[in-house]
Amino acid sequence: SQTIHQWPATLVQPVGSPLSLECTVEGTSNPNLYWYRQAAGRGLQLLFYSVGIGQISSEVPQNLSASRPQDRQFILSSKKLLLSDSGFYLCAWSVMVGFGTDTQYFGPGTRLTVL
Amino acid sequence: GQQVMQIPQYQHVQEGEDFTTYCNSSTTLSNIQWYKQRPGGHPVFLIQLVKSGEVKKQKRLTFQFGEAKKNSSLHITATQTTDVGTYFCAGTKGFQKLVFGTGTRLLVSP
């Protein structure tokens, strides 16, 4: 069966510090991978998605970046965190099995607080 | 671009009352999905609807896809405290990526 891991679960970082969040998927090959951010009590904001190794699409201009060094590994990074980067970061995977059937499966998330 | 809105944003009900959230897309969809996010948790897939006018049930939850495939609803009969959370619809068109709705947060008081 497929599983998705994210770490760390929680993180407190000072403004201006770097960030690296990692997401890995097991039990599937060539998944679509996604990074979302969710502010407290708000909806899901798609940040990046990837359909293959080295292929990254950015949805929102910001000081974050994403990389996919391996098929089932997705990394979210920042060189200098801002206060506005605080939020709940969710990684998700999907496999397109047919026309318009892109069900997404989410990881447990990382709760980031920037002080 | 494609937008998916949900109403209401928030609803507080007494246990045993019914609850409905509505989802509206700016474009015709290939399918609609529903997810539930418990407080402090991550979104979990509930169901997918594909056909125009389709209705599916999961115990006390009834999901409906509109005839024009631009709207959908989730109805919960006789809510329980375990129904607390945020419900998201998500739509896709063809092979385009899923677009999540704005979410409806449900609070159920015992």
pLDDT of residue A1: 86
The low-confidence residues of chain B, meaning pLDDT below 70, are 1, 95
What value does the mean pLDDT take over residues A58-85? Answer: 92
Average pLDDT (A61-65) is 85
Distance from CA of B88 to the nearest CA of A (A): 8
Residues in chain B within 8 Å Cβ distance of A43? 88, 100-103
Instruction: Give me the long-range contacts of B59-66 (CB less than 8 A, separation at least 24).
Output: B63/B34, B65/B31, B65/B32
More confident residue, B10 or A43: B10
* A47 neighbourhood in chain B, CB within 8 Å: none
Residues A20 and A76 sit within 8 Å (Cβ to Cβ): yes
Average pLDDT, rounded, for chain A: 91
Q: Which residues contact A61 (CB under 8 A, 6 or more apart)?
A: none
Residue B50: what pLDDT? 92
Residue A101 has pLDDT above 90, yes or no: no
pLDDT band at A62 (very low <50, low <70, confident <90, very high): confident
Average pLDDT (A34-46) is 90
- Give Cα separations from B22 to A6, A36, B6, B25, B34 (angstroms): 31, 23, 5, 10, 11
